[in-house]
Homo-oligomer: A and B are copies of this chain.
């Protein structure tokens, strides 16, 4: 294959380590200059390709690119924008080809989750179906850990570490004050459909009685009576109760906690997420003093407490994506393969994109405790290695030195516009 430029884009919710994947892609492309020319990044993801708004990463120093490994967020901008099917919206694909052709782009790296792998798969077909040859490789990313076929998804290990550490720390706080102050602490974490993030909180507890005492997973139908009883048992036995709740915790009939049980006496639905609802339930039933925290974006941007394993894996899939592309592999995605739990050993494998797209991986039943309020030994065995190791950013004046790229635009070559 003749030397071509590459297009790289970040897609969907960003993570603490998606830039580590970008770093892997760009550094590895720079090592393969005989095959890959420049790496152009989409400004705000795929939108940057459609609008011919691309960033010339060759304008960044080696040092700036290396610093991406330590910088959270999406350095080139990301977006929530899903391409329709090739047949449904041929114009979009024609536009991509127009832009790719104008900029001599022969490689397409798409860094995202399930939806994004669907887009990547569609783009990988434009060679066969629309006559524009391109090598398209997906780079897995999502804090939710719900991508199939990979043992773990880069981005998850760091949010898992943040949640486990934060749960452990807040628990020490609550425990020391429980006699005369707060007895119940609720932490709401991300996870609309899958409970992986909430499950990671379980790593904070090592012996019976340790927090968290209760975890509420989207996969386990919420049983209010059993829940309230367990809160009381915990307070009576340990003086306090730490609860970690997925934003997607739900009843058996699929109603989210966050949408229910929050009517006032006139039957009006009240605002509030899962943490607030759970807190209100406990207050009403047991009259314990409660507090709640909502980690929201803090959890997925907390590069300061990233997992080293996660950072290494995020870099590795970026690097591997380029190596796969250089060898001419189209429509594939590198995955993390686990060789052993203890000691933890892993490597990088590869799967076809069409097998990944639009599938969600939930926590298996065997990862929950019998009562559904915690993680089993099997769940712990899976989760524990993913938070291993620290990989601190550099600091200056007490703050992390996160890199701000120059993000110089690639000169436009087209006089056509495209409305998104």
Contacts and interface: CB of A to CB of B under 8 A. Distances in A.
Contact of A179 (B79, B187, B395): B79
Contacts of A76: 176
A193 interface: no
Q: Which of A165, A185, A291, A389 has the most CB of B within 10 A?
A: A165
A398 B306 CA distance: 10
A271 B266 contact: no
Nearest to A48: B179
A408 B366 CA distance: 39
Contacts of A305: 304-305
A21 to B, nearest CB: 14
B270 A271 contact: yes
A44 B180 contact: yes
B389 A398 contact: yes
Nearest to A176: B74
A400 interface: yes
Nearest to A398: B387
A265 B384 CA distance: 48
B304 A293 contact: no
Contact of A270 (B10, B270, B300, B390): B270
A395 B44 CA distance: 37
A79 B181 contact: yes
B392 A392 contact: yes
Interface string A177-193: 10111100101000000
Contact of A304 (B72, B169, B181, B300): B169
Nearest to A295: B293
B293 A177 contact: no
Contacts of A174: 297
A75 B104 CA distance: 63
Interface string A291-335: 111111110111111010100000000000000000000000000
A340 interface: no
A336 to B, nearest CB: 16
Nearest to A293: B296
Contact of A294 (B75, B182, B293): B293
B166 A298 contact: yes
> Which 6 pairs of residues, A with B, have the shortest CB-CB distance?
A73-B172, A74-B176, A293-B296, A387-B398, A169-B301, A173-B301
Interface of A: 10, 13-14, 16, 44, 47, 71-81, 161, 164-166, 168-177, 179-182, 185, 187, 203-204, 264-266, 268, 270-272, 276, 280, 291-298, 300-305, 307, 309, 384, 387-390, 392, 395, 397-400, 402
